[in-house]
Chain A
Amino acid sequence: MMMMEGNDLKFIDSVLEKYGNDKTKIIAIMQDVQERYRYLPKDALEYIAGKVGMSESKLYGVATFYGNFSLNAKGKYVMKVCRGTACHVRKSSTVLQALYDATGTSETDPNSDDGLFTLEIVSCLGACGLSPVVMVNDTVHAAMTPEKARALVEQLREEG
């Protein structure tokens, strides 16, 4: 229970209170927690399971079922690379490869060593008219090319 102290505890309690400790709201609870920590810390999950009256194994089952939840710390910039059909036919695979190369990540290791980037493949961002698309946190970058992808990584790296 290393991290579940002071402010962290207060924060998680506030989230639980917002959803009335209701276990049917567990997905929303985890979404709020992940928004703050950029992943779901193990201690937090254990604490939440106890509070809403759900077994830890069941909570783990729900958390691992959904693609958006991560049990590992994510980078500051989560880059969602759209691999939907429209992006695919407009060559999103080359954009993805350029991003892997530029951030030093790969399909098996999507987090960059400097903690800045996490690469995620998403099935469709619904911005097909602008394909290929990459979403960084909540910002959509349209009509990507390998060159633009490399420039984007450079720019984000400078911003730190």
Chain B
Amino acid sequence: MRERIKNLEEFRALQEKFIKARACEKRKVLVCCGTGCAAGGNLAVYEELKKQMAEHGAAFEVSLNDNCGGDATGIKKSGCHGFCEMGPLVRIEPEGWLYTKVKAADVAEIVDKTILGGEFIERLGYHQNGELYKRQEDIPFYKKQTRRVLEHCGHIDAESIEEYFSIGGYSALCKALFEMSGEEVIAEVSASGLRGRGGAGFPTGKKWAQVAAHTEEPVKFIVCNGDEGDPGAFMDRSCMEGDPHKILEGMIIAGVATGSTEGYIYVRAEYPLAVSRLSIAIKQAEEYGITGDDILGSGKSFHMHINRGAGAFVCGEGSAMTASIEGNRGMPRTKPPRSVDKGLFGKPTCLNNVETFANVPDIITKGAAWFRSVGTENSPGTKAFALTGNVVNTGLIEVPMGTTLRQVVYDIGGGIKNGKKFKAVQIGGPSGGCLTEEHLDLPMDFDSLKKVGAIIGSGGLVVMDEDSCMVNIAQFFMNFICEESCGKCTPCREGTTRMNEILTRITHGSGKMSDIDELRSLAKMIQVSSLCGLGKTAPNPVLSTLQNFEEEYIEHIRDKRCHCGTCKALAQFVITDKCIGCTKCARNCPVNAITGTVRHKHEIDPTKCIKCGTCKDNCPVGAIKEG
């Protein structure tokens, strides 16, 4: 069905055809089929939509290839819209309406009223503080964002290259192939100031130039890091699932610019949908001759491969990733040589993150100046963040670099869940740190965050409310690192294990005051002597919580208390005067630790209590306090 495109003219004609076909689809229903909404049942919604449309005898099309040139309604499976909290989501075009929490049972009404009648169904619309927001772009969660990388995520069918053509896709590649030299492409990327979105923020143009400089090497590689291992991060996943061709386009441009002919995408095994969407995308691109030999008749070649990870966090580190692609244990090695000189299979390798590659096509088509029009001087452009934890609106967001934490948590995130108080945000995963109330107005960019001991990392933002215990969070990350340390170097393997032991004993109430100094000295030792970035940054969560919440450590050690009630070994359940004497707690207690008579305040015997929390969960009036 898809024929190889032989030259630029053929590409332009084909693109034109699909731009027209897209314009014909006046009405379109985009059913979000990202991991989140798919889990919420949106695949059933999609099937039901097709069934109901057929039953109503209404013309519809699922692919631009079936375009009749008439006024058929497009029924599309899209990638992630980002507003996972309100999923499953369905977007209606041309109005741009967004329906939230849609179920298969709602489909009949959607077909009847909205698709055929053009009427908005208020019940399915998004409400905030009593106000109805019909259009997706008007919802506060979206309104404050600047979507560039995620521009088409949720707006196109992620499994169709034709849809990507129809929004101008692969134009940047054509420009790089036929109108620019490799040096010019690299110069444009350098001028844009794009910095690596995987965490370290290394200038992308500089990296490309270093790989391109190895003109003596006939074999060079492009590697895309999609091993998004930081717990609490899913930007790359959404990007790979929602707009896979954008990443491919960025990689092919990098290949053409640096003279590399092989590209590898390393994707986490936990992301089966991303693997499947990328595989479909690569197959389609091959069919059209956009990857493979003699791309679009340009004489240049680029071959794409997918590697599925096998569950090792450390493989997100560059040299560990290349070791894993080569079929070895994913262990980092000493640097130099850096991977731009000796990377995959010992050849010069350009390794960038998913989001970095996804930024490239727009830089080539719209130019460096356009890219710099948002963001800060040293961190231009936008950054995608995964906003999660105890915040009202969780989901995937994209904002200009330099946006403050307050704007993200309150304006976009809608503040803290259940009216609780903000306590901290964990940023940058196991290598990052905690930001507190005093940092709320700090601009989030590479350099400002570094100054306060945190990093952007891959972009996970986990919001924590007043009930989150910071010692527990520190222990949580340290435990994670202990399990994920590859074991090659001693400081990381043994040092993190010792730190985890200390943190565990503090959370169990058997810590000593000297433990705090011990933690600090171990942290310093690990930072300076570990082999790779994973080890060097592993103590960050402990150091930053110690810096901002030392009193909580002291409370755990000296007073044997965890006022947040998170550390079960230290928790104490107390029945307050709110108790109405309903006896529910006493009946539910598995160890009969609660006594009292009907309509009188009950008591918990702390010697019998096993701190399971059943009483608190079951109390109808919230009379049981923990802490």
Contacts and interface: CB of A to CB of B under 8 A. Distances in A.
A138 interface: yes
B615 interface: no
Contact of B39 (A28, A68, A139): A139
Contacts of B35: 125-127, 140
Nearest to B234: A126
Interface in B409-447: 426, 429
A100 to B, nearest CB: 14
Contacts of B328: 62
Contacts of B38: 140
Given A85-B476, A129-B394, A66 B326 contact: no
Given A123-B480, A127-B234, A129-B396, A69 B310 contact: yes
A151 interface: no
A27 B310 contact: yes
B84 interface: yes
A62 to B, nearest CB: 6
A123 B231 CA distance: 6
A137 to B, nearest CB: 10
Interface in B292-326: 307-313, 324-326
B460 interface: yes
Interface residues of B, number: 57
7 contacts: A24-B325, A24-B326, A28-B307, A85-B388, A85-B429, A89-B389, A140-B39
B462 A66 contact: no
A128 B228 CA distance: 13
A84 B307 contact: no
Contacts of B396: 129
A80 interface: yes
Interface in B249-289: 268-272
A6 interface: no
A67 B311 CA distance: 5
A71 to B, nearest CB: 13
Given A65-B329, A123-B229, A142 B40 contact: yes
Interface string A60-96: 0110011111000000000010011111111000000
B460 A85 contact: yes
A148 interface: no
A66 B234 contact: no
Nearest to B472: A88
B626 to A, nearest CB: 13
B327 A86 contact: no
A143 B396 CA distance: 17
A31 B268 CA distance: 13
Nearest to B331: A65
Interface string B47-64: 000000000000000000
A146 to B, nearest CB: 9
A16 interface: no
B395 interface: yes
Contacts of A90: 389-390
A66 B311 contact: yes
A110 B270 CA distance: 19
Given A24-B327, A85-B426, A129-B394, A124 B312 contact: no
B362 interface: no
A26 B468 CA distance: 43
A129 B87 CA distance: 10
Given A67-B310, A85-B429, A140-B38, 6 more contacts: A24-B325, A31-B308, A85-B389, A86-B231, A123-B483, A125-B35
A86 B270 contact: no
Interface string B215-229: 000000000000011
B328 to A, nearest CB: 7
Given A67-B311, A89-B389, A84 B232 contact: yes
